[in-house]
Amino acid sequence: MANSTAVMETNKGRITIELYEDKAPITTGNFIDLIKRGFYNGLGFHRYEPGFVIQGGDPRGNGTGGFIDDTGRERTIPLEVTPELKHGAAGAVAMARSQNPNSASSQFYITLGPAAFLDNSYAVFGRVTDGLDVVMQLRSGDKITTVECVAAE
């Protein structure tokens, strides 16, 4: 199965992410749905930890928000990990969550270096394939301009 790609435009440049639909279908399905809804357009990155992660996708902009669905409740997804998807190097894309393993909603992070201690505890669902230099320039307050999903051919 060929995987879709997310193309994220930020105020610092373009980031291309391969989405692991074949290995993380629930998590990528959630991310793709949010992209198609335009949810991420205009949101900011609210967390920057040098050498660790840049995090975004929070509509509140402070690390406490998620996607509110048509029922008025925050949509969450179950933790979906696989031993093949690791945080081994800069550019891993994964879902942020609270202490509850099944609390991921819309927030995601991109690793800025190896973070193996997160393996099998946080759902990796993609990898930056182009624009890692852009990722390394991102800081708290930077913005996601638009995100689009390009289906696999």
Q: Is 141 left (phi over 0), alpha (psi -120 to 50) or beta?
A: left
Domain limits of the chain? Answer: 5-150
Write out pLDDT tens, residues 99-147. 999 999 999 999 999 999 999 999 999 999 999 999 999 999 999 999 9
d(CA 16, CA 106): 18
**DSSP reduced 3-state for 55:** strand
pLDDT band for position 1 (50/70/90)? low
**Which superfamily does 5-150 belong to?**
Cyclophilin-like (2.40.100.10)
Measure the CA–CA gap between 70 and 67, rounded to whole angstroms: 10
Share of the chain above pLDDT 70, in %: 99
Residue count (the chain): 153
pTM: 0.96
pLDDT mean across residues, the chain: 96
Mean pLDDT across 13-19: 98
Q: Give the C-alpha separation, 12 to 131, whole Å.
A: 10
